[in-house]
Amino acid sequence: MFGKMISNMMVKPYQSPLFDTPEAHGLDYENVEFKAEDGTTLRGWLIAGGSDRVIVQSHFGVQCNRGGWSPKGKGPIKPWKQDIQFLRQAKYLVNQGYSVLAYDLRGHGESDLGPTPWVSWGPEETKDVIAAVNFTSLRLPDASVGLLSICMGAASTTYAFGRARGLAERTNIKAMIAIQPLLYTCFIEALGMPGFMARSGEKVSNERLGFDMSRPNFINDAPKITVPTLVVQNKNDPWTQMGMVKDYYDALTVPKELKLLDIEKSRFAVYDYIGTHPEKLMGWFDAHMWGFGHERYSFNHSGRCPLW
């Protein structure tokens, strides 16, 4: 019983319905869908900003989606008290001349389940990051791409740089911001869960996913990242190990910066901070992405992107 309950906490999909829309933030957008290499259909918003720069946002896992995180339906003990709206940073980026692709990873929001119908903490979701970059590159072929990758999104993106025919070969990707990358094993240890419960949950999850969740380690792929990378971490985050974050940062071989935030003692504080203080972080993209005229565009009903 313990095993299934704990496994559900960690790998059960669709734990957060979509709760926000770009319309609520006055944004011009198109509903889009595209397929990953294994045929999984992913859905998202392509939000209109600039024709020469676009940010691909990959959200964190399990209880999140492209719109962010909501405490609604999360039980009596909640890690954060109010909605975390990722469209706040999208609006800031649009105002700075970027377009934004915000999409749901498989098993989250409105995207389909993949062949493995559980959240894998990165190994399966890496296919979604690659598909999102492919889609963006087709829709805006002249645009530089920036990657805003959050927690499991950061893990998935890092794996994607290590994949054959993955992101390392994409010359249009110019910069990455990795928000609180986290290994599954470090998360479990930081939770302080009794060993017998952790082992029981891991056994069920391993059977569901078909691999040992303690084995994949995206830090091994960090040296394969090819673009300047900003790593952001709340030093008061009780759900991580700072040594793991340092190992990830040290493994990067590109121009890099580690931004340690001294904010509320909650992992979710940074997820909220991205939207409440986007000007503190998004300058990384400004420093490493260049366009040609910063033209803006909007969508028409044909699905094409005419310039304004």
Domain ranges of the chain: 2-288
Confidence of residue 290 (pLDDT cuts 50, 70, 90): low
Distances (CA, A) of 226 to 49, 172, 176, 221: 25, 11, 9, 11
Q: Is the pLDDT of residue 302 over 50?
A: no
CATH fold of 2-288 reads: Rossmann fold (3.40.50)
Check: CB of residue 147 under 8 Å from CB of residue 157. yes
Q: In sequence order, which ranges of the chain are alpha helices (DSSP H)?
A: 2-11, 87-95, 126-139, 152-162, 184-191, 195-209, 242-251, 268-276, 283-288
Q: What pLDDT, in 10s, does the model give residues 132-153?
A: 999 999 999 999 999 999 999 9
Q: What pLDDT, in 10s, does the model give residues 155-179?
A: 999 999 999 999 999 999 999 999 9
- pTM: predicted TM-score of the whole model, two decimal places: 0.93
| pLDDT for the residue 73 | 86
How many CA atoms does the CB half-sphere of 261 hold within 13 Å? Answer: 23
DSSP classification of residue 255: S
